Amino acid sequence: MPAWLNALAALKYDEQGRIVGDSYADVASITECQAQQVETWSTGEGHFMSHSEGYTRRRLLTLAAGASAVFTFGPVGAQSAPPTGTGGKTMQTRVIPSSNESLPIVGLGTYRGFDMAPSDPAYKNLAVVLNALFEKGGKVIDSSPMYGRAEQTTGELLSIHEPRSPAFLATKVWTRGREEGIAQMEQSFSLLQTDRIDLMQIHNLLDWQIHLPTLRHWKEAGRIRYIGITHYTASAYEEVEAVLKAEPLDFLQINYALDDRGVEKRILPLCRDRGVAVICNRPFGGGGLIDRLQGKPLPGWAAQVGVKSWPQLALKFLLSHSAVTCVIPGTGNPRYMAENAGAGFGPMLTDAQRQQLIALVS
């Protein structure tokens, strides 16, 4: 039996059919598998059959275990188990103004958390992070060539999700020069193991005049679905504003947090006027905001808006702004991902509640 099939067979599941404990380490070894051709695979019912055709790794994994089982439905034979975790409800969505497509409002940032090799014992957690996102109805995953191994890790873990995961893949171009940009974006397709990237963004506006024509061309050709720009600091807002005014764009990704609200003044109203979807990066200020808030009592009305923790409240503060489309808290921690996704449910905050939170961090 090939090693990857052994690894699949060794996976352990909880009673709801999700992979548990250390067996996630085996997912890492499965994703390392380079098999292009096998003679044996599991039918999924305990039998093994011979075949000599070439199969892609993804197809093999599907045949071997129903790769949907790997993330969503549990072990072979348990495909009838109901999906779990949302209590029958799903995450709220907002419309992307340029297309009217609905997007779930809480996504995932891969900076730091997904910069990890399969040999790292914590790699196994990342599959669970994705599972937590999808289970709650989320789908936006944001990456960049700047984030070390994050694109590759994301591609590996999504490749064993069959049927194709619901991921809305956002990544970036982060280099100078037309040819260099093309080469880097081609590599992103390859690392993410996809032939279509949902959102391609120009990272920190680096060489944006050069990359934009390529992005427009690729959008027309159907290789990417949306075009965006990103930044993370107030010193760039002037340039961000100028580009928003000069160029038709689908998305802006920008820093916005309860204690970092500079975009409220001009950038968010401009996006609303121009019909540009807004993704909030650094919603926890890189983590510092949560450190400051933990230990303080939650406002008495938190339960009324379906919030159980400061991270959820900090995200809901952002989502309660009408110009915001989606937040992408970064994490490699499954518990954090599930908690963050919870901000996508229940009522949004009133203006008075938002003001109360602002006063708390001022």
Ligand X SMILES: NC(=O)c1ccc[n+]([C@@H]2O[C@H](COP(=O)([O-])OP(=O)(O)OC[C@H]3O[C@@H](n4cnc5c(N)ncnc54)[C@H](OP(=O)(O)O)[C@@H]3O)[C@@H](O)[C@H]2O)c1
Question: Can you give the binding site for ligand X, defined by CB under 6 A?
Answer: 109-113, 142, 203-204, 230-232, 253, 281-287, 290, 311, 328-333, 336, 339-340
Contact assessment for residue 61 and residue 160, using Cβ atoms and an 8 Å cutoff: yes
Output the smallest distance, CB 287 to ligand X, in A: 3
Output the smallest distance, CB 170 to ligand X, in A: 8
Output the smallest distance, CB 68 to ligand X, in A: 26
User: Would you say 30 or 133 has its CB closer to ligand X?
Assistant: 133
Output the smallest distance, CB 130 to ligand X, in A: 14
Bridge partners of 278?
252
Contact assessment for residue 296 and residue 281, using Cβ atoms and an 8 Å cutoff: no
Output the smallest distance, CB 178 to ligand X, in A: 21
What are the CA-CA distances from residue 119 to residues 13, 25, 29, 225, 348 (Å)? 22, 9, 8, 34, 41
User: Would you say 75 or 332 has its CB closer to ligand X?
Assistant: 332
Tokens 């970064």 — which residue?
Answer: 330
Output the smallest distance, CB 65 to ligand X, in A: 28
User: Would you say 75 or 104 has its CB closer to ligand X?
Assistant: 104
User: Would you say 191 or 328 has its CB closer to ligand X?
Assistant: 328
> Could you tell me the two tokens for 244?
């928003």
Contact assessment for residue 192 and residue 151, using Cβ atoms and an 8 Å cutoff: yes
Contact assessment for residue 241 and residue 264, using Cβ atoms and an 8 Å cutoff: no
Of 28, 31, 37, the residue nearest 56 (C-alpha): 37
Contact assessment for residue 244 and residue 277, using Cβ atoms and an 8 Å cutoff: no
The number of beta carbons lying within 10 Å of the beta carbon of residue 343 is: 30
User: Would you say 231 or 321 has its CB closer to ligand X?
Assistant: 231
Output the smallest distance, CB 243 to ligand X, in A: 14
User: Would you say 44 or 262 has its CB closer to ligand X?
Assistant: 262
Bridge partners of 169?
141
**Residue 295 to residue 342: CA distance in whole angstroms:** 20
The number of beta carbons lying within 10 Å of the beta carbon of residue 254 is: 26
User: Would you say 8 or 215 has its CB closer to ligand X?
Assistant: 215
Through-space distance between the first and last CA atoms of the chain, rounded to whole angstroms: 61
User: Would you say 193 or 204 has its CB closer to ligand X?
Assistant: 204
Of 154, 135, 141, the residue nearest 68 (C-alpha): 135
Output the smallest distance, CB 10 to ligand X, in A: 27
